[in-house]
């Protein structure tokens, strides 16, 4: 651990030198600076950062990436822009839900979003986003819709969404349900994509609350949780594809009070952390354990930032 900490400290010092040169006007360092910022994001995920340091790196990398992507293609290796776009989207989108409400959430720029849509149209399969890049682009829309609808809550607790928000809700639901990974992709990537699909559906449906009774809404959500768990059971927790699944796992966990379902998620995250070892897997489980002690009405992905604020812990689910 001491050796790793020493190398990490040295790397940060060298990176600060590059930042200093960039600020001084040495723009030829833009590529190194952009890649370095994104690597720092991933490093904080691996370390299990609980102080929200990753959000600062994300904001820095976003502006630099926009600048880099406007440069002539001859200045950037051929396959790097696609990966950088995917990396930025994965890190940004999976971090939105856990942002301190007093701070603006990380956002996708129109440039990066447009490039991502181009990747989707050519069937891009990513290292981080697998076959579900199009689902990642829907998450910010669900995030902003949820905050608009919740702002409409009346004194008696009922929601009064605007007509446009009701239409947006229906359109997003249709897009999520229509998502179906191509049969030609790696079967484990396809299963992970379908787990992500259930996570995004639950995130959308939970805007209206997380009922745990025998209502139609509650039955629908319980069915989505069960489907997600059935999909998870079809591939091992030891595979690398699991490194991208903290986001759907936290959402699924925040949408169930069923003890058996919670135990399955607990065992999954324990196995992932035990074999893969990323720090955010451990922190995701710690956060879930805290959420599961709450009253049923507060077991919701929309309560995550409150729980983090309460514990003064800010993590990314990247």
Cβ neighbours of residue 149 closer than 8 Å, sequence gap 6 or more: 159, 161, 165, 169, 207, 208
Q: Which of 194, 204, 59 shows the shortest CA–CA distance to 141?
A: 204
> What is the spatial distance between Cα 284 and Cα 53, in angstroms, rounded to a whole number?
16
> What is the spatial distance between Cα 236 and Cα 272, in angstroms, rounded to a whole number?
9
Give the rounded distance of the alpha carbon of 175 from its chain centre.
18
Q: Which residues of the chain are under the pLDDT cut of 50? A: 1-7, 12, 15, 19, 22-24
pTM of the predicted model as reported, rounded to 2 decimal places = 0.85
Give me the pLDDT at residue 1, please: 45
Give me the pLDDT at residue 24, please: 46
Question: Over the stretch 145-192, which tens digit does the pLDDT of each residue have?
Answer: 998 998 888 877 788 899 999 999 999 999 999 999 988 899 999 999
Range list of H helices, the chain: 2-23, 30-47, 53-68, 80-96, 110-121, 133-150, 163-178, 187-205, 216-232, 246-253, 259-275, 279-291, 304-311
Q: Are 237 and 268 in contact (CB under 8 A)?
A: yes
Q: Which of 304, 311, 287 shows the shortest CA–CA distance to 97?
A: 304
Question: Over the stretch 208-228, which tens digit does the pLDDT of each residue have?
Answer: 988 766 788 999 999 999 999
Q: Are 200 and 176 in contact (CB under 8 A)?
A: yes
Whose structure tokens read 């910010």? 140
Q: Which of 9, 11, 99 shows the shortest CA–CA distance to 55?
A: 99
């Amino acid at each position: 651990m001491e050796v790793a900490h020493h190398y990490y400290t040295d790397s940060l010092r060298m990176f600060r030198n590059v930042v200093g040169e960039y600020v001084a006007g040495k723009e030829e360092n833009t590529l190194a600076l952009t890649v370095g910022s994104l690597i720092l994001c991933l490093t904080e995920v691996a370390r299990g950062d609980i102080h929200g340091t990753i959000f600062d790196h994300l904001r820095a990398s976003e502006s630099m990436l926009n600048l880099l992507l406007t440069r002539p293609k001859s200045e950037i290796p051929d396959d790097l822009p696609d990966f950088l776009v995917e990396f930025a989207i994965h890190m940004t989108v999976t971090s939105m839900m856990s942002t301190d409400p007093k701070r603006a959430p990380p956002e996708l720029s129109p440039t990066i979003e447009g490039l991502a849509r181009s990747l989707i149209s050519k069937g891009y399969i990513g290292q981080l986003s697998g076959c579900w890049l199009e689902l990642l682009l829907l998450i910010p829309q669900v995030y902003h819709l949820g905050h608009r609808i919740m702002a409409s809550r009346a004194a008696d607790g009922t929601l009064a969404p605007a007509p446009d928000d009701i239409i947006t809700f229906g359109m997003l639901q249709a897009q999520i349900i229509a998502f179906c990974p191509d049969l030609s992709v790696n079967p484990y990537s396809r299963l992970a994509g379908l787990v992500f699909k259930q996570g995004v559906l639950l995130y959308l449906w939970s805007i209206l609350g997380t009922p745990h009774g025998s209502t139609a809404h509650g039955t629908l959500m319980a069915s989505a949780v069960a489907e997600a768990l059935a999909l998870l059971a079809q591939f091992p927790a030891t595979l690398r594809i699991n490194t991208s699944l903290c986001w759907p796992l936290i959402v699924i966990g925040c949408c169930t009070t069923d003890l058996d379902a919670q135990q399955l998620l607990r065992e999954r995250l324990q196995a992932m952390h035990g074999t893969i070892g990323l720090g955010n897997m451990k922190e995701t489980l710690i956060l879930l354990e805290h959420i599961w002690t709450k009253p049923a009405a507060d077991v919701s992905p929309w309560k995550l930032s409150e729980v983090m604020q309460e514990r003064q812990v800010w993590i990314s689910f990247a």
